Structure 1
Amino acid sequence: MEKTVLKLEKATSVLKLLGDKTRLTMIGLMSHHECCVCEFVEVFDMSQPSISQHLRKLRDAELVKERRKGQWIFYSLNKESEAYPLIEALLTHIPDQKEKLEALEAEGKRITCG
């Protein structure tokens, strides 16, 4: 398998985006499951516009993709992104975020949309 090498500018851009704790945590959450904005609002206790701003930046950088289901939009990691191998490597160096989703589920807030 051939190793993909990112251009320095792209790697810098991705690392700068993921230097934000909220966005890095979002990426960690999406490594397990696609998530809706409402779930991120619950996890981070932030406003919907703030969450949407973070997601827009990740989407614009093609790190995440969105899927519409009715009025809801679900976000997931873009595994086709040229930066995905870098993201995958980064995820091995941060704590697993799965417990945040499990806590939401335990509170009955995991799927508050759709």
Structure 2
Amino acid sequence: MADTMKLLSDKTRLTIVALLKEREMCVCDIVDVLETTQPNISQHLKKLKTGGIVNETRRSQWIYYSLNVNDKPYLNEIISQLPSMKDRVNALQSNSCC
């Protein structure tokens, strides 16, 4: 549990989790919302995946990320307290790269 909390102590990773709470997303969508570089987001996603917090699914050339917290009930309360990112996610729907 300590390793998971350490992963979530980073503001960018916590924001990524808040985004993925709304829906699964590809890297390009997360880059657009956070206005940062693709390598930066990819490194954060790699850490979250290694920590077992996110899953990745390949669909043709795109990789989609989703939350993987079903086996971590202690995260449900933390995730429920994250601010809603629905407006930011919905704004992407018309500009999505995937």
TM-score, L = length of structure 2: 0.91
Query: Gapped runs of 5+ residues in structure 2?
Result: none
Query: Gapped runs of 5+ residues in structure 1?
Result: 1-10
Amino acid at match of 2:51: A
Q: Return structure 1 stretches of 4+ with deviation > 4 angstroms.
A: none
2:59 is aligned to: 69
Distance apart, 1:30 and its partner CA: 0.8
| Residue 83 (structure 2) aligned to one of 54, 76, 95 | 95
Q: CA–CA distance in 1 between the matches of 2:32 and 2:52?
A: 24
Whether 1:112 aligns to 2:79 is no
TM-score, L = length of structure 1: 0.79
Structure number with greater Rg is 1
Distance apart, 1:61 and its partner CA: 0.6
Whether 1:50 aligns to 2:40 is yes
Question: What's the % identity of the aligned pairs?
Answer: 42
Structure with more relative contact order (C-alpha pairs < 8 Å, separation 6 or more): 2
